Amino acid sequence: MLLCVRVYLSGPMGAGKSTVAGLVAGQLGTRALDLDARVEELAGRSIPEIFSERGESAFRALEKEALGTLPSEVGVVSLGGGTVIDNETRQTLLREGILVTLTAEPSVLAARVGAAQGRPLLGEDPRGDLEGILKDRAAAYAEAHAVIDTSSLEPNEIATEIVAVRNLSPVVVPLGQRTYRVEVGRGARHRVGMRAGEHAAGEAVLVFDGGDDRPWPQDAVRDLTLAGKPPIEVRLPGDEAHKNVASVERIWDSALEAEVDRRAIVIGVGGGVIGDLSGFAASTLLRGVALGQIPTTLLAMVDSSVGGKTGFNRPRGKNLVGTFYQPKFVLCDVETLSTLPSEERIAGLAEAVKSAWLDSEESVAMLERDAEALIAGDADATIRAVRMSVLLKSRIVHEDERESGRRMLLNLGHTVGHGLEAASEYRGIRHGEGVALGMIAAMRVAAGLGRGRREETERLTRLLGKLGLPTDLDRRLNSRALEFIGSDKKRRGDTIHFVIPRFPGQTEIAMLGLDEVRAALAES
């Protein structure tokens, strides 16, 4: 149970926010507050008077002030219908609490609102006005931890569902009407049948790796079958050497031979290779079907399963062909890590270190404190690391979905890391190990440019070593690996977007010459 998380109820007028807020507060043993009442208290005016005398912009400013001055004992807040229109406010609520959108059909809302007296946004045609409001706010309302249609539910049923969402506490990747949730915890994989049913009316195509002794794909088969979606099963090798178009063709052909239609969903169960192949296949099958992800490696949980990058390798380098295609859901179940070899799980910690360094001093300090527990595979420490990484990625993807700017930060350590992987033909070094060494290389480049400090390089190296990750860059870096830097996707002619780490939370992107990068590494 989450003890100190505030619940915010959003949605149009007539959705039942005020009524349900009191019921949720009763179940949680806390206090509910109506934001409109708080605004009226601050302004000394009724809502219609504020709109009439000062306009909607002044009202929205008062809403922000009211949200910033909520009494600490308030655990549930019924928001105004338009509070979440403001992007900054909406993202703050998503970060700091649980935001739930209540909605209903326009006819239901109009019947509940009645004559609409005291509703400044409604005129002589309340239903038509509500249809327009729902259309205009659709993207904002979709960016929530849950969207609940209250048309045919009783208030107590709605309240119980909201409390369940609060306790689950999914991470939201806010992309308007393509928003999805990442569920992190124990047993999350068993919700695959429910989530697949919510997002796809057609058949399920289950893509996975491993042998018959691996329980997680069979769990998914059972759960999907119980939900009425017995899946089409596609088993693939899960290593980088098979991350190629031939593997994608196997997914395409299996689905097409089963005569699936565009209502189908492709679900990947496995590591980053399976996730990327499943995502690319879903993005291209019948010009796009739904996608779900159940990552079963730490590396996939903290990085590749979230954000919508898909692809496969080519002889010239890693992930050079692919698409951006967001999933409908991601289920990160830390129980699936129990069958993962310890060296694979530890390799995945490199991406968590990357995320922490991009995020904040607090996140880096958390990994430093949890290092021993993380190496041991402690579930609680792992959940903290995964949630931190996913929260960071969700914020960055919201700002820059297609990697035209800020999202490039997520490539910290990848330029040299991918070069090391390619030079070994994807057999001599794990991706996470390459990223760990790539981050050290990035620190060296930063120092060579006068943008980094030795103390930070030593701190990062120490943390990586404490987590059991390789730090012997000099032994592994060679001319072949340096040559592969020229095949990086971030290259622009003879220059490259290079991610330069400084202090935690202060990483930057610089356009550097390829020879400049190679020289800085060769001289270090």
Can you give the CATH number for the domain in which 128 is found?
3.40.50.300
Integer Cα distance of 414 and 435 in angstroms: 5
Q: Verify that 274 and 311 share a domain, yes or no.
A: yes
Q: Tell me which residue range forms the domain holding 93.
A: 6-169
Q: Verify that 291 and 425 share a domain, yes or no.
A: no
Which residues, other chains included, contact 286 with Cβ-Cβ below 8 Å and sequence gap of 6+? 260, 261, 262, 264
CATH, residue 476: 1.20.1090.10
User: How remote is the C-alpha of 157 from its chain's centroid?
Assistant: 28
Integer Cα distance of 137 and 176 in angstroms: 10
Query: pLDDT 10s digit of each residue in the chain, 524 long?
Result: 344 699 999 999 999 999 999 999 999 999 999 999 999 988 898 888 888 888 888 888 889 999 999 999 999 999 999 999 999 999 999 999 999 999 999 999 999 987 656 576 677 788 899 999 999 999 999 999 999 999 999 999 999 999 999 999 999 999 999 999 999 999 999 999 999 999 999 999 999 998 777 799 999 999 999 999 999 999 999 888 889 999 999 999 999 999 999 999 999 999 999 999 999 999 999 999 999 999 999 999 999 999 999 988 888 877 889 999 999 999 999 999 999 999 999 999 999 999 999 999 999 999 999 999 999 999 999 999 999 999 999 999 999 999 888 899 999 999 899 888 888 877 779 989 999 999 999 998 988 888 878 889 999 999 999 999 999 998 888 878 877 776 655 666 678 889 999 899 999 998 888 888 887 787 65
H or E, element range at 269: strand 265-270
Q: Verify that 88 and 130 share a domain, yes or no.
A: yes
Check if the beta carbon of residue 204 is closer than 8 Å to that of residue 264. Answer: yes
Integer Cα distance of 206 and 248 in angstroms: 13
The verdict on residue 256 lying in a domain is: yes
Domain boundary among 120, 138, 169: 169
CB atoms inside a 10 Å sphere around CB 117: 8
The pLDDT score that the predictor gives to residue 493 is: 65
Q: Verify that 85 and 191 share a domain, yes or no.
A: no
The pLDDT score that the predictor gives to residue 520 is: 79
The verdict on residue 326 lying in a domain is: yes
Total domain count for the chain?
3
Q: Verify that 216 and 157 share a domain, yes or no.
A: no
Q: Verify that 102 and 137 share a domain, yes or no.
A: yes
Going by C-alpha positions, the residue among 368, 406, 367 that lies closest to residue 388 is 367
Q: Verify that 187 and 136 share a domain, yes or no.
A: no
Q: Verify that 150 and 182 share a domain, yes or no.
A: no
Domain boundary among 294, 318, 340: 340
Which residues, other chains included, contact 26 with Cβ-Cβ below 8 Å and sequence gap of 6+? 159
The verdict on residue 374 lying in a domain is: no
Check if the beta carbon of residue 353 is closer than 8 Å to that of residue 436. Answer: yes
The verdict on residue 102 lying in a domain is: yes
* pTM value surpassing 0.85: yes
Going by C-alpha positions, the residue among 143, 129, 125, 119 that lies closest to residue 46 is 119
The verdict on residue 320 lying in a domain is: yes
The verdict on residue 384 lying in a domain is: no
In one letter, which amino acid is 417? G
The pLDDT score that the predictor gives to residue 2 is: 46
CB atoms inside a 10 Å sphere around CB 53: 10
Check if the beta carbon of residue 325 is closer than 8 Å to that of residue 299. Answer: no
Q: Verify that 316 and 219 share a domain, yes or no.
A: yes
List, edge to edge, every strand of the sheet that includes 495-500.
Answer: 491-492, 495-500, 508-513
Going by C-alpha positions, the residue among 223, 267, 285, 277 that lies closest to residue 246 is 277
Q: Verify that 21 and 160 share a domain, yes or no.
A: yes
The verdict on residue 355 lying in a domain is: no
Integer Cα distance of 269 and 89 in angstroms: 35
CATH, residue 288: 3.40.50.1970
Integer Cα distance of 282 and 269 in angstroms: 14
Q: Verify that 184 and 122 share a domain, yes or no.
A: no
Integer Cα distance of 304 and 270 in angstroms: 11
Token readout for 325 is 């295609």
Check if the beta carbon of residue 205 is closer than 8 Å to that of residue 248. Answer: no
- Backbone torsions φ then ψ of 291, nearest 5 degrees: -135, 135
The pLDDT score that the predictor gives to residue 117 is: 61
Q: Verify that 154 and 196 share a domain, yes or no.
A: no
Domain boundary among 105, 139, 169: 169
Integer Cα distance of 173 and 463 in angstroms: 28
Token readout for 17 is 């926010």
Check if the beta carbon of residue 395 is closer than 8 Å to that of residue 505. Answer: no
H or E, element range at 491: strand 491-492
Integer Cα distance of 332 and 305 in angstroms: 9
